[in-house]
Amino acid sequence: MLLTCAQMKAAEEAAFARGVSAEDLMETAARGIARAILAFFPNPGHLLLVVGKGHNAGDVLAAARLLAPLGWTWELDAAFPEADLAPLTARQLAALRATRPSAPPGLLPAPLVALDGLLGIGAQGEPRAPIAAAIARLHAHRARGAFVVAADLPSGLDADTGRATAACVTADLTVTIGYAKAGLVADLAANHVGRLALVPLPEVTAPGGDPAELLTPAALLPLVPPRPFESHKGIWGRIGIIAGSRGYTGAARLCATGVLRAGGGLITLYATPDHYATLAATVPPEIMVRPVDSYADVLREPHDALAIGPGLGPDPSPAVLELLLRFPGPAVIDADALNLLSRQPAFPAMAGPRLLTPHPGEMARLWPQERPATRRATAEEFAARHGVTLLLKGSRTVIATPGHPTAFNSTGHPGMGTGGMGDVLTGVCAALLARGIDPHDAAGLGAWLCGRAAERAIFGRGGSPESLAASDVLARLGAAFGDLRADRGA
């Protein structure tokens, strides 16, 4: 559920009226912030605590107190004199100082994590001095390589609308508390919010709000229960892949390996004669490669799900359209198969459930007319018109299906803006569909897993967004499943 600032404040006030203490809520928030930092940086580093005087600052100070015994050092950058701190925030600072000393100057361990605890949801308007000066210092630290974590929201961002003030923190990670605030998933907020994590406050309940949801490990875990000991490959689905063409065989390999690494049972990659030999020699040995004269032959095979589109080339066979329309089971449609659909006079009806995974350019071709102003509205209206699940890729992937709350993915980083990532996602989602997961849930789970695998590839491991490749995501999908089950990855 997404809340406005007024709704969040009302929910907190109701909790206080029931006897819940602000100190208890602060401890829960601090544990969540600390866990989110550890999900990215498992080895201790240095915390730069850039704080104001309210309870948002208290959350940050309490999180530092919890991290200090794990080896994290810290230093304080307070925008106000300590005499101005709220009483509970002052107690948190005293408790932090009693835990361990801050790091000696010039001897700071990597990584450097700067925490934004300047403003909470009660702040309005343009930040003024001394807050604006503290935000400028945060910007300077980020320019020198610090990873910026915002507590609840980036200071200077309107949490209802997503509009940023001139002086607004640019966060790499925003750890929002209680409920996701509506403005944090707005299109215009993405560059300031960065990666999103949610810390629930079990004591705080909201009677109503926007039903859209932020995808989290707790919400997704029921979709992947432990495998029964008595398992066999037939249980985990028969997946057919229609992908690849001359010059585009890499897309087929990435897609097929995505199915494999997401737990597909029996995987068959279909290839026409012009590229059969190349694929048969290069795909992982666990994947069957079958030659077909026409992709329409796939309709005669018993599949639980299909992945259709990666690397089919600019002019796919007409048999691909026949397969899109007539296959009775669930299918993921991506890349060149989406472009094929966009060239039809009207969007066609299809025989089974369909999960479409366009990037913004493909979405523009699918819907060339004037579209709604926001990505969310675009996804919701297209899905409702055509009775499909739409996963609209982007820095905040949106998933819309008629009859389901719209979902926003929380994982990933800018390094995923490179070739092959969509091919991997298509394969992962097809594997999830084949095990019987609903297309909406498969889309959300697939997006979360791929984003978390991408995070696993660089954070705390010497990598960088610039160095990330789609094959790195494939290699970390197992770790992403592990993080999901351990409720890591925020």
> In the CATH hierarchy, which fold is given to the domain comprising 2-210?
Rossmann fold (3.40.50)
Is a pLDDT exceeding 70 seen at residue 32? yes
What is the band of 103 on the pLDDT scale with cuts at 50, 70, 90? low
Question: Which tens digit of pLDDT belongs to each residue from 122-159?
Answer: 888 899 999 999 999 999 999 999 999 999 999 999 99
pTM, rounded to two decimals: 0.96
Cα–Cα distance between 222 and 199 in angstroms, integer? 18
Q: What percent of the chain has pLDDT over 70?
A: 98
CB 61 within 8 A of CB 89: yes
Is a pLDDT exceeding 80 seen at residue 36? yes
Q: Identify the bridge partners of residue 407 per DSSP, sorted by sequence position.
A: 213, 399
Is a pLDDT exceeding 60 seen at residue 105? no
Taking the CA atoms of 413, 414, 415 and 420 in sequence, report the sign of the dihedral they define. Answer: positive
Confidence (pLDDT) at 274:
86
* Average per-residue pLDDT for the chain: 94
SS3 of 87, please?
A: helix
Question: Which tens digit of pLDDT belongs to each residue from 280-324?
Answer: 999 999 999 999 999 999 999 999 999 999 999 998 989 999 999
Cα–Cα distance between 327 and 95 in angstroms, integer? 63
Is a pLDDT exceeding 60 seen at residue 46? yes
Confidence (pLDDT) at 108:
63
Confidence (pLDDT) at 23:
96
Question: Which tens digit of pLDDT belongs to each residue from 342-365?
Answer: 999 999 999 999 999 999 999 999
- Min mean pLDDT across 166-180, 317-331, 451-465 is at 451-465
Q: What percent of the chain has pLDDT over 90?
A: 88
Confidence (pLDDT) at 181:
97
List the chain domain ranges: 2-210, 222-485
Is a pLDDT exceeding 80 seen at residue 63? yes
Q: For 380-415, give one letter per residue: b (16+ CB within 10 A) or e.
A: bebbeebebbbbbbbbbbbbbbeebebbbbbbbbeb
CB 165 within 8 A of CB 125: yes
What average pLDDT does range 219-229 have in this prediction? 93
> In the CATH hierarchy, which fold is given to the domain comprising 222-485?
UDP-N-acetylmuramoyl-L-alanine:D-glutamate ligase (3.40.1190)
CB 186 within 8 A of CB 211: no
Confidence (pLDDT) at 77:
96
Question: Which tens digit of pLDDT belongs to each residue from 248-287?
Answer: 999 999 999 999 999 999 999 999 998 899 999 999 999 9
Confidence (pLDDT) at 370:
85
Is a pLDDT exceeding 60 seen at residue 419? yes
CB 477 within 8 A of CB 254: no
CA 448-204-59 angle, to 5 degrees, is 75
Residue ranges of E strands in 209-249:
213-214, 238-242
Confidence (pLDDT) at 104:
60
